[in-house]
Amino acid sequence: MKGVIYACLGGVFLTLQGAANAAIGDRIGTWQAATLTQGTGFIAALLIMLMFRDQSWRNLNQVKPVYHFGGAFAAFILFSNIKAFHMNGAALTISAILIAQMVVTIMLEKSGWFGTAQVRIKPVQWTGLGLMVIGILCLTL
C-alpha cells in the first residue's frame, strides 16, 4: 500500500512540476526552466540526504556507468514536458506521458532491459493500454 501512496504522490508532484515548469518556461525559456528545476531538485535532494545522514552515495562506484545518465534523461523530460504543456495543456500532456510510460514499461518488462525480470505481456495488459489510448482520444475531442 505504501508503494501505491508514493506512486500517487509522484503523479501529483509530476503534474504540479509540469505546470510550474511551463510557467517558468514562459518567463525565462525552456532550457533555462529545465536548468532551474534540475538545480533546485539537486539542492533539495542533497539537503534531504544530509538531513537523514544517508551515506549510501559512497557506493556510487557499484552502479553501472550507463545508469549514471538518469539525470541527463531528466533534462529531456523537463524540456519535452514544458513544450507539451504549452502546446497541449495539462490533461492531454499528462495523459500522453502516462501512455508513453506504459508503452516503455511494457517494452522494458518484455525485454528485460535495465536488469528487470522478463515478463510475458498478457492480452489484458494490451487491452488496458488500448483503453488508455481511447481515453486520450476522448480528451482531445
pLDDT at 43: 93
Q: Say if residue 23's pLDDT is above 80.
A: yes
Taking alpha carbons only, the member of 99, 90, 94 closest to residue 23 is 90
pLDDT digits (tens, 9 = 90+) for 67-103: 778 778 888 888 888 888 888 888 888 888 888 888 8
Q: How far apart are CA 100 and CA 77, in angstroms?
A: 12
Percent of the chain scoring above 70 in pLDDT: 99
Q: Say if residue 46's pLDDT is above 80.
A: yes
Mean pLDDT of the chain: 84
